[in-house]
Amino acid sequence: DTGVSQNPRHKITKRGQNVTFRCDPISEHNRLYWYRQTLGQGPEFLTYFQNEAQLEKSRLLSDRFSAERPKGSFSTLEIQRTEQGDSAMYLCASSPPRAGLNTEAFFGQGTRLTVV
Amino acid sequence: AQKVTQAQTEISVVEKEDVTLDCVYETRDTTYYLFWYKQPPSGELVFLIRRNSFDEQNEISGRYSWNFQKSTSSFNFTITASQVVDSAVYFCALNGGSYIPTFGRGTSLIVHP
């Protein structure tokens, strides 16, 4: 088990283009989180899945953002019509089944998006 | 709503100095956990320590120790005899009833040789 994997690691795109990121959680982890982190800030929650169900979405997640987790395995985060303000590090994290409040989240290395 | 505040944006120390990172939190939950994570330049947040809301006993683990005070809603983290490899951004996080961790903005620690 190699941990949470995110692809690509870096993405440069032109304003107005669509981008899609992928996250492969640790095997058998049923909880999956997406966070966004801008320079000098902490991770900001975007959305949360338990298995394939998207249980929570932040107000930060505008209608240009959509996330999926088909079959409760990997997840994708798509940003449509990207804007320069979308430039950030997008972090994915997962945690195991029956995880309680005491269970830490396991993070990937993130996808750094730059919108030019 | 949950909130985590890390007032220190950057701390600079010389190797072997002790350093304490401050964290203040807000929550309406009666049961919650507090965490510290480390984010090295590679970008991946790594879990360091945790403490539950019912146990105010302070602990030491190697060069790490933490001080949880419910009365002041603080969860401070100390690194003893800092090393250059400790240079990173440190995040305090709160996990309450929503099971969605809330993070502070982080404190950048720079340890000079």
Q: For B47-59, what is each residue's pLDDT tens digit? A: 999 888 888 777 8
CB proximity under 8 Å: A 49-108 to B: 56, 89, 91, 93, 99, 101-102, 104-108
Q: For A97-107, what is each residue's pLDDT tens digit? A: 777 777 889 99
Residues of chain A positioned with their CB less than 8 A from the CB of B49: none
Residues of chain B positioned with their CB less than 8 A from the CB of A38: none
Numbers of helices and strands, H then E, in chain A: 0, 11
How far does chain B reach from its first CA to its final CA, in angstroms?
41
Q: How far apart (Å, rounded) are the C-alpha atoms in residues A82 and A17? A: 6
CB–CB contact B45 A107 (8 Å):
yes
CA pseudo-torsion sign A99, A41, A48, B32: positive
Q: For B67-101, what is each residue's pLDDT tens digit? A: 999 999 999 999 999 999 999 999 999 998 788 89
